[in-house]
């Protein structure tokens, strides 16, 4: 920060991530609107609060241990990956990310009081740690919100919040450490590539949600005696659509936050060769551009909307969901695809996940209230697999010989959806169910989660009505 | 073998142009994209005509229509 140019780069980067956080807030406004709109009126307020309270809970736990997980675990569960940050395998010391670090607060970048921190640590992280933490935090909230929609109207809030913290502050950030980190073992060993988090956010959340849905069971009345599904229509389809539209809006922040905005590709922190070349990069430090991903974001959204409208014959819920699913399908490779490739990939993804949603619902009697497993889980999985083919042979990192390939990305998708998503979700849901704290009581589900509000509304309404009548009588109006 | 770029690490990034897969197929992609776009419009016109026919058939039942014309939009939102 001792010359204008480097100070500008630092402050620009700090501001860039800050803005992405603000924009990503809209994702959560959208999720709240969308879930409340899908749920029946008798469950509105609990649905809203279930989604709202994951925000502070994931925030504090992400501060306590989530951020540390990202930096500590790139070597994988038990591998020595001979990476750039080789520390003999195992956990990587991450003194800037532990909750008691002085860098987890306001810091001017000067010498550290804590012995574990170096001059390089403080000068680099002082103005980036908070905003980078926050950008990742918003991704954490997103994983929790994805699950939240699938399980509405019958999950206990307390159980949901424990599940959300596990996914948002442990599992997804662990998968990011492995496969969404410039030095993650999945990049080194598999050539895993997932630029805008099809697998690391969406597939893992979808897999986790599917496991919970299996244990939780369907809403009362969802399936007839003969096993066919009843359609439980959204109580407010307009609110659902606008909620999804807000999620699209917030997704812009998500895409921008997945990039490193500016870095000298030839500089000492990168290739360390003669000359300078400033560019944006993806999280793997491979080059891309904000302009390029803007083309791809819009074309994959457009493809998804068109395919969603087509496959559902104009149903608003599936059209908007298709836009999102299309975007998610193309996201794994949207740092590099041609825009028309992104559009076609998005369209293909939407057709597949729409069919899969109904096949799974009918075959396995899975009640996914908002299609979250399809829109996020299947689309995310498919997106990672497609990227393995489309980007076959591209370098997985500018520092490594390993290339992107279909096998590596397929294994990566399995790790995301099943190993870190489905299996832990199943284990946790079964534990919570065995403790009797996963599902709400049968009678409360029939009456509605908001029964306490409804009773209070009636009492307060009657009380106020009586007071008004008394006042009117005193005023000789009655 | 690569669908696009072989390496970013050889100091030639400043000389690179397009880095998307299958550079050179842009014309074909445009043709496919335009076909999909126009095909979507053709499908939509046929689909909505079919839907209107179904809805018109349904509206022939006057007993059923009584319920439809009672539908109060303000109660929905």
Q: What is the pLDDT of residues A258-315, one digit of tens each?
A: 999 999 999 988 998 888 999 999 999 999 999 999 999 999 999 999 999 999 999 9
Portion 177-196 of A in contact with B at CB < 8 A: none
Tokens 């790790």 locate to: A415
B37: nearest CA in chain A? A306
Distance of CA A372 to the CA centre of its chain: 11
The confidence score (pLDDT) of residue A79 equals: 63
B-chain residues near A238 (CB < 8 A): 77
Q: Please check the confidence at residue A86 and state whether its pLDDT lies above 60.
A: no
Do A97 and A176 form a contact (C-beta atoms < 8 A)?
no
Do A401 and A185 form a contact (C-beta atoms < 8 A)?
no
Q: In a mutagenesis test of the B interface, which of A395, A406, A407 is the best target, namely the one with the most B β-carbons within 10 Å?
A: A395
The confidence score (pLDDT) of residue A478 equals: 87
Do A177 and A200 form a contact (C-beta atoms < 8 A)?
no
The confidence score (pLDDT) of residue B10 equals: 86
Residues listed for chain A:
478
CB contact under 8 A, A394 and B1: no
ipTM of this complex: 0.89
* Interchain CB contact of A340 with B (< 8 Å): yes
**Confidence band, pLDDT 50/70/90 cuts, at residue A83:** low
Q: Please check the confidence at residue A331 and state whether its pLDDT lies above 60.
A: yes
Average pLDDT score over residue span A236-262? 95
Nearest CB to A393; choose among B2, B14, B26: B2
B-chain residues near A292 (CB < 8 A): 20
Q: What secondary structure, in 3-state letters, does A9-41 show?
A: HHHHHHHHHHHHHHHHHHHHHHHHHHHHHHCCH
Between B16 and A382, the more confident residue is: A382
Tokens 């009678």 locate to: A443
* Interchain CB contact of B55 with A (< 8 Å): no
Angle of the A172-179 helix axis to the A204-216 helix axis, nearest 10: 150
Average pLDDT score over residue span A183-200? 95
Give the closest-approach CA distance of B41 to chain A in angstroms: 10
Do A172 and A143 form a contact (C-beta atoms < 8 A)?
yes
Q: Please check the confidence at residue A30 and state whether its pLDDT lies above 90.
A: yes
Between B34 and A400, the more confident residue is: B34
Tokens for A366, please give them. Answer: 């899975």
Helix and strand totals (H; E) in chain B: 2, 0
* Interchain CB contact of B14 with A (< 8 Å): yes
Q: Please check the confidence at residue A347 and state whether its pLDDT lies above 50.
A: yes
Tokens 């591209």 locate to: A394
Q: What are the sequence ranges of the domains in chain A? A: 4-94+128-447
Q: SS3 of A436, please?
A: coil
pLDDT tens digits, A95-139: 999 999 999 999 998 888 898 898 888 888 999 999 999 999 999
CB contact under 8 A, A287 and B13: yes
pLDDT tens digits, A113-123: 898 898 888 88
Share of chain A above pLDDT 70, in %: 98
Maximum Cα–Cα distance for chain A, whole Å? 93
The confidence score (pLDDT) of residue B72 equals: 59
* Interchain CB contact of A474 with B (< 8 Å): no
Phi then psi for A154, rounded to 5 degrees? -150, -5
B-chain residues near A390 (CB < 8 A): 3, 21
Phi then psi for A254, rounded to 5 degrees? -60, -50
CB contact under 8 A, A395 and B47: no
A299: nearest CA in chain B? B33
* Interchain CB contact of B17 with A (< 8 Å): no
The confidence score (pLDDT) of residue B75 equals: 57
Q: Please check the confidence at residue A76 and state whether its pLDDT lies above 80.
A: yes
The confidence score (pLDDT) of residue A136 equals: 97
Average pLDDT score over residue span A30-44? 93
Q: Which residues contact A229 (CB under 8 A, 6 or more apart)?
A: A222, A223, A361, A362, A365, A367
User: Sign of dihedral through CA atoms A129, A100, A24, A162?
Assistant: positive
CB contact under 8 A, B8 and A393: no
Residue in A51, A30, A19 with CA at minimum distance from that of residue A248: A30
pLDDT tens digits, A255-274: 999 999 999 999 988 998 88
The confidence score (pLDDT) of residue B77 equals: 46
Measure the CA–CA gap between A431 and A65, rounded to whole angstroms: 23
A337: nearest CA in chain B? B20
| Helix, strand, coil in percent for chain A, rounding step 5 | 65, 5, 30
Portion 397-416 of A in contact with B at CB < 8 A: 398-399, 403
* Interchain CB contact of B11 with A (< 8 Å): yes
Measure the CA–CA gap between A203 and A214, rounded to whole angstroms: 17
Do B77 and A238 form a contact (C-beta atoms < 8 A)?
yes
Start-end of H helices in A217-338 = 237-257, 290-312, 316-331
Predicted confidence pLDDT, tens digits, chain B (77 residues)? 899 998 998 888 999 999 999 999 999 999 999 999 999 999 999 999 999 999 898 888 887 777 777 765 555 54
User: Sign of dihedral through CA atoms A27, A382, A348, A299?
Assistant: positive
Share of chain A above pLDDT 90, in %: 82
Total CB pairs under 8 A between chain A and B: 85
Portion 258-277 of A in contact with B at CB < 8 A: 265-266, 271, 273-275, 277
In this structure, which topology does domain A4-94+128-447 adopt according to CATH? Ammonium transporter fold (1.10.3430)
CB contact under 8 A, A271 and B26: no
* Interchain CB contact of A135 with B (< 8 Å): no
């Amino acid at each position: 920060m001792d010359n204008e140019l480097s100070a500008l780069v630092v402050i620009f980067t700090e501001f860039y991530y800050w803005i992405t956080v603000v924009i990503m807030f809209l994702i959560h406004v959208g999720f709240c609107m969308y879930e409340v709109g899908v749920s029946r009126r008798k469950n509105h307020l609990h649905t809203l609060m279930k989604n709202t309270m994951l925000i502070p809970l994931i925030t504090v736990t992400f501060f306590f241990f989530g951020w540390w997980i990202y930096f500590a675990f790139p070597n994988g569960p038990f591998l020595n990956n001979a990476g750039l940050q080789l520390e003999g395998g195992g956990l990587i010391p991450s003194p800037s990310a532990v909750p008691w670090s002085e860098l987890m607060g306001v810091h001017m970048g000067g010498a550290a009081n804590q012995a574990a921190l170096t001059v390089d640590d403080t000068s680099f992280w002082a103005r980036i740690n908070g905003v980078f933490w926050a950008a990742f935090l918003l991704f954490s909230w997103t994983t929790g919100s994805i699950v939240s929609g699938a399980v509405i109207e019958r999950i206990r809030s307390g159980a949901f919040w424990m599940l959300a913290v596990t996914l948002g502050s442990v599992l997804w950030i662990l998968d990011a450490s492995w496969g969404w980190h410039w030095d993650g073992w999945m990049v080194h060993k598999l050539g895993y590539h997932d630029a805008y988090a099809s697998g690391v956010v969406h597939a893992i959340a979808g897999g986790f949600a599917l496991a919970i849905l299996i244990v939780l069971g369907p809403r009362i009345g969802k399936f007839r005696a003969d096993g066919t599904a009843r359609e439980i229509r959204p109580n407010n389809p307009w609110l659902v659509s606008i909620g999804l539209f807000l999620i699209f809006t917030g997704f812009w922040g998500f895409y921008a936050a997945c990039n490193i905005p500016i870095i000298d590709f030839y500089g000492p922190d990168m290739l360390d060769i003669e000359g300078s070349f400033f560019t944006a990069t993806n999280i793997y430090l491979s080059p891309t551009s904000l302009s390029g991903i803007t083309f791809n974001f819009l074309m994959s959204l457009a493809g998804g909307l068109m395919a969603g409208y087509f496959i559902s014959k104009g149903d608003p819920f599936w059209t908007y969901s298709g836009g999102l699913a299309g975007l998610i399908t193309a996201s794994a490779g949207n740092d590099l695809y041609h825009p028309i490739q992104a559009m076609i990939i998005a369209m293909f993804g939407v057709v597949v996940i729409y069919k899969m949603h109904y096949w799974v619902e009918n075959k396995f009697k899975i009640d996914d209230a908002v299609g979250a497993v399809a829109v996020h889980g299947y689309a995310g999985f498919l997106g990672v697999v497609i990227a393995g083919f489309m980007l076959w042979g591209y370098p997985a990192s500018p520092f490594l010989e390993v290339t992107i390939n279909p096998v590596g990305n397929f294994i990566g998708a399995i790790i995301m959806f099943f190993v870190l998503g489905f299996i832990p979700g199943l284990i946790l849901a079964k534990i919570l169910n065995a403790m009797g704290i996963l599902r709400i009581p049968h009678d409360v589900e029939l009456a509605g989660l908001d029964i306490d509000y409804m009773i209070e509304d009636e009492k307060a309404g009657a009380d106020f009505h009586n007071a008004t009548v008394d006042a009117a009588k005193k005023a000789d109006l009655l | 073998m690569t669908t696009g770029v072989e390496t970013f690490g050889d100091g030639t990034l400043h000389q690179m142009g397009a880095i998307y897969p299958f550079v050179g197929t842009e014309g074909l992609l445009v043709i496919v994209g335009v076909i999909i776009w126009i095909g979507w419009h053709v499908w939509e016109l046929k689909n909505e005509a079919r839907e209107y026919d179904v809805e018109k058939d349904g509206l022939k039942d006057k007993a059923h229509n009584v319920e439809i014309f009672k539908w109060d939009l303000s109660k929905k939102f």
